Amino acid sequence: MNMPVTDTVFLITLALLAVRGACRGFLRTLVGPMAFLASCGLSSAWLALTHKTFESLLILLIGPLVIGWILHLCLRKNVTPNNPPKLSLLSRTSGAIITMAWGGAMALLVVAILIILPLKSLGLGDIARDVQRSTTYALFKKPLQAWRIIPPSEVQECLSGLCGTPPKTQASLASDQDIQALMNDPRLQKLLADPATQKAIKEGNIPALMANPDLLKLAQDPALVTRMLRVYPKIKEARKPSPAP
């Protein structure tokens, strides 16, 4: 199986970041993370004092540029063309590791955003499928599900199956006790009867699903989630096409 494009881009990004960090050294590499963290602190403090969201967001966006520029000036103060900084092996190694860790975290954040966005409904299903089968996404999958940013994939597929199961398949599953108990749950009946929810499930529109308070309540009920996970393999097996004679 070929490596997903997402993993290839991620590895190339890490390699380029490592080279950049080694060239910049330990101190210059710290400028970016320090400027960003300082801006986060200033933005949070301003929001707590003034409750002005727009101004706090502006500080968060512009702050890293301004603070980073000031820190770079401080580092360049004693540097002249005739006196370039001499970077030790330890400084270069530390710079490479810090840059890889910081840039890698930002790249993983981009991957998480790609998962949350409704790419399928935008005609970018190939990108969504590539990201979902990548090892890079696997690094983020469990935390995203634990933080309830996205529901477990089995729950999503189970809901999709309950919405889109053909009548013939529904009839074959009707006698299953687990499925009967699940389908008789009034909360699930209410959720599946909502046309907007059905559309979001079929299109893989995660933001729309997570904006639905009924789905969030379902995901917070361990007993119901357990029943859905028990039913999921049965629906998946029943929906498989019959082998050709």
Tens of pLDDT, residues 26-51? 888 888 888 888 988 998 898 888 88
Q: Which residue has the tokens 């727009």?
A: 54
- pLDDT score of 212: 73
Q: Which comes out higher in pLDDT, residue 34 or 124?
A: 34
Whole-angstrom distance, CA of residue 58 vs CA of residue 6: 31
Q: Is the pLDDT of residue 165 over 60?
A: no
Q: Is the pLDDT of residue 199 over 60?
A: yes
Whole-angstrom distance, CA of residue 155 vs CA of residue 162: 10
Q: Which comes out higher in pLDDT, residue 49 or 198?
A: 49
Query: CA 77 from chain center: how many Å?
Result: 40
- Tokens linked to 86: 């001499």
3-state secondary structure of 75: helix
What is the overall mean pLDDT for the chain? 75
pTM (2 decimals)? 0.52
Dihedrals phi, psi of 80, to nearest 5 degrees? -125, 165
- pLDDT score of 242: 53
Q: Is the pLDDT of residue 5 over 80?
A: yes
- Tokens linked to 19: 């080279």
Q: Is the pLDDT of residue 206 over 70?
A: no
Q: Is the pLDDT of residue 80 over 60?
A: no
- pLDDT score of 160: 58
What integer is the mean pLDDT of 209-227?
A: 74
- pLDDT score of 1: 53
Q: Is the pLDDT of residue 174 over 60?
A: no
- pLDDT score of 59: 87
Q: Is the pLDDT of residue 22 over 80?
A: yes
Q: Provide the residue type at 77 as one letter.
A: K
- pLDDT score of 72: 80
Domain boundaries, the chain: 5-146, 153-238
Of 59-68, 103-112, 162-171, the range with the highest mean pLDDT is: 59-68
Q: Is the pLDDT of residue 238 over 60?
A: yes
Looking at the DSSP bridge assignments, the partners of residue 83 are: 80
- pLDDT score of 76: 74
Q: Is the pLDDT of residue 144 over 70?
A: no
Whole-angstrom distance, CA of residue 235 vs CA of residue 157: 9
- pLDDT score of 158: 62
* 143 confidence band (pLDDT: 50, 70, 90): low
